[in-house]
Chains A and B, each alone.
Chain A
């Protein structure tokens, strides 16, 4: 039997790869830029008398935080930039004209992007570990679900900004500022202020840190924390999707879907 969803997913998965391949400069410059920012933080902090180099846990937490941030901005820009670019290029309207629904296209793009983001996130992680000489623990059974739930917030926020981008065409600077606000969310101390757990990325970053630094597996983690993480992921992703649908309706009412 013909599997239309599989064909659509494969089409999107290939398209994401082709675009990544045809924009090598973007990928390489992205890796270099993020690595450079890492070096700036890393050496800057030490130069200012911080103890990143001496405090092993702080340094490893810093790497984990940076790793999550890299993945989060990759996820966020897929939607925030991706949808805006498609609207500008005139291809967004074509994506809407699929019998499988634009929602399906967006979901498959997210899944494909989650995978292809590894192309630049993994080299950055390796570079950071080599630079600092600190190698983290990799337990994929724990890491993958935690990463999915944490990054889901990035997709949610990406949906919101993409939706706003459909209506207000010139909000690129807002896109960029938002990427740096993510750093704050990741670095917030949830141990001190438990309410921060409900913010995007914050609890996820801590749990991923526990796994990659302290080698705590998902089965040893606090059940309530995992439930909060699940709730936070669904909440931000869901809210993002609802706001996007609302913006999409406004864009269709105002005839802005294909405007540039």
Chain B
């Protein structure tokens, strides 16, 4: 059963599997994943390269035929009736590669609107609004090939938005962008798209973008979902299990080695007065093992605290643990 499935679920994906076969081997790009997105939800879709993110998104768009599984977009069976589903879904699939480079900003927007059956007159106001929102006003007549990469990517997102669908799938919308433009795109996602009540599945390697934009994340690795949780809850979960021990003075390197062996991912640092030992303990009873080590080495504990881990660290821990 899909987690949190209810009548408000707008994307429903069940047991989705994609197997690529060749003479020598069989690769399971997606291995029976199931998930759902609620109407108006913005969900991050994370995973290392080759985890199956793009394949999943392309299956949702029926641009790749899944080997097995069912996909429903707002009640429409995508596999059986993709054209009906395209009334409800739009996507930015490959950063700045989804637009026509020889066409201007406005011409691109008009053309993508025509794919939904809208005439230029019908979308005139929406085009003006998008051009204003995306800061493309001065480039309205510029051919896309002469725009900066950031502007091209903003135009690609605008071209998906001109279709005015309820669902937007974004595959790496900030890839290759500088910090400033990434921030701009993040801001657009957060303020403009979220405000319109759109449902967004956002795949990205940029944890800051995901953390700032999404409430929930689905993490996929080796074709399987390894986490599907609200970011807040993930943080709480890891906070409960993440401790910082403070030892007066500097400890020797042997302790560092011992900690690294016994507690995967343990970090030791020195702040000038104390040695800070950050340990992630899945089982809280293990705290006694840590204390045993301190006792055996005769180290004086000056403090213990729960620490809130960085979202990027949580992601890395999940992916590493799964491996």
Interfacial residues, chain A to chain B (CB-CB below 8 A): 2-8, 10-12, 14-15, 18-19, 22-23, 89-91, 93-101, 105, 249, 252-255, 257-258
- Contact across chains for B107 and A98 when beta carbons are under 8 A apart: no
- Contact across chains for B65 and A99 when beta carbons are under 8 A apart: no
Identify B97's interface contact among A89, A252, A253, CB under 8 A.
A89
Contacts of A254 in B (CB 8 A): 20
A23 nearest CB neighbor, chain B only: B102
Task: Please name 14 pairs of A and B residues whose Cβ atoms are closer than 8 Å in the assembled complex, sorted by A.
Answer: A4-B118, A7-B114, A7-B118, A11-B111, A14-B110, A14-B111, A90-B94, A91-B100, A93-B58, A95-B115, A100-B83, A100-B115, A100-B117, A257-B64
- Contact across chains for A94 and B114 when beta carbons are under 8 A apart: no
Identify A7's interface contact among B90, B100, B117, CB under 8 A.
B117
Known: A98-B115, A254-B20. A93 touches B99 (CB 8 A): no
From 73 to 121 in chain B, residues with beta carbon under 8 angstroms from any chain A beta carbon are 83-84, 86-87, 89-91, 93-94, 97-103, 107, 110-120
- Contact across chains for A97 and B90 when beta carbons are under 8 A apart: yes
Contacts of A252 in B (CB 8 A): 62-65
B121 nearest CB neighbor, chain A only: A7
Known: A91-B98, A99-B83, A257-B63. A11 touches B20 (CB 8 A): no
Total A-B pairs in contact (CB under 8 Å)?
112
- Contact across chains for B103 and A15 when beta carbons are under 8 A apart: yes
- Contact across chains for B114 and A93 when beta carbons are under 8 A apart: no
Query: Within the complex, what minimum Cβ distance (angstroms) separates A187 from chain B?
Result: 36
Indicate if B17 sits at the interface (CB-CB under 8 A): no
Report the separation of the CA atoms of residues A21 and B64 in the bound assembly, to the nearest whole angstrom.
Answer: 34
- Contact across chains for B58 and A258 when beta carbons are under 8 A apart: yes
Interfacial residues, chain B to chain A (CB-CB below 8 A): 18, 20, 29, 55, 58, 61-65, 83-84, 86-87, 89-91, 93-94, 97-103, 107, 110-120, 122, 143, 159
Identify B93's interface contact among A14, A19, A95, A258, CB under 8 A.
A258
Query: Within the complex, what minimum Cβ distance (angstroms) separates B124 from chain A?
Result: 13
Identify B111's interface contact among A2, A15, A23, CB under 8 A.
A15
Report the separation of the CA atoms of residues A101 and B110 in the bound assembly, to the nearest whole angstrom.
Answer: 18
Contacts of B63 in A (CB 8 A): 93, 96-97, 252, 257-258
- Contact across chains for B100 and A97 when beta carbons are under 8 A apart: no
- Contact across chains for B83 and A258 when beta carbons are under 8 A apart: no
Known: A22-B102, A93-B93, A99-B86. A255 touches B116 (CB 8 A): no
- Which 8 A-B pairs give the minimum distances between C-beta atoms? A11-B114, A4-B117, A90-B97, A98-B115, A22-B102, A7-B119, A99-B86, A252-B65
Report the separation of the CA atoms of residues A8 and B83 in the bound assembly, to the nearest whole angstrom.
Answer: 15
Known: A2-B122, A6-B119, A97-B89. A12 touches B61 (CB 8 A): no
Contacts of B89 in A (CB 8 A): 97
Known: A18-B102, A18-B103, A258-B63. A10 touches B93 (CB 8 A): no
Contacts of A100 in B (CB 8 A): 83, 115, 117
B90 nearest CB neighbor, chain A only: A97
B92 nearest CB neighbor, chain A only: A94
- Contact across chains for B102 and A19 when beta carbons are under 8 A apart: yes
Contacts of A249 in B (CB 8 A): 65
Report the separation of the CA atoms of residues A14 and B93 in the bound assembly, to the nearest whole angstrom.
Answer: 24
A254 nearest CB neighbor, chain B only: B20
Report the separation of the CA atoms of residues A14 and B106 in the bound assembly, to the nearest whole angstrom.
Answer: 13
Report the separation of the CA atoms of residues A49 and B62 in the bound assembly, to the nearest whole angstrom.
Answer: 60
A21 nearest CB neighbor, chain B only: B102
Additional 7 contacts, C-beta under 8 A, given A94-B98, A257-B63: A15-B103, A19-B102, A90-B93, A91-B98, A93-B98, A95-B115, A100-B115
Identify A93's interface contact among B18, B61, B111, B159, CB under 8 A.
B61
Query: Within the complex, what minimum Cβ distance (angstroms) separates A60 from chain B?
Result: 38
- Contact across chains for B97 and A97 when beta carbons are under 8 A apart: no
A253 nearest CB neighbor, chain B only: B65
Identify B114's interface contact among A8, A253, A258, CB under 8 A.
A8
Report the separation of the CA atoms of residues A105 and B116 in the bound assembly, to the nearest whole angstrom.
Answer: 11
Contacts of B116 in A (CB 8 A): 4, 98-99
Contacts of B99 in A (CB 8 A): 91
Contacts of A93 in B (CB 8 A): 58, 61, 63, 91, 93, 98
Question: Which one of B62, B89, B107, B119 has the highest number of Cβ atoms from chain A below 10 Å of its Cβ?
Answer: B119
Report the separation of the CA atoms of residues A3 and B95 in the bound assembly, to the nearest whole angstrom.
Answer: 31
- Contact across chains for A12 and B114 when beta carbons are under 8 A apart: yes
Contacts of B117 in A (CB 8 A): 2-5, 7-8, 99-100
Contacts of B90 in A (CB 8 A): 97
Known: A93-B61, A98-B86, A255-B64. A22 touches B143 (CB 8 A): yes
- Contact across chains for B103 and A97 when beta carbons are under 8 A apart: no
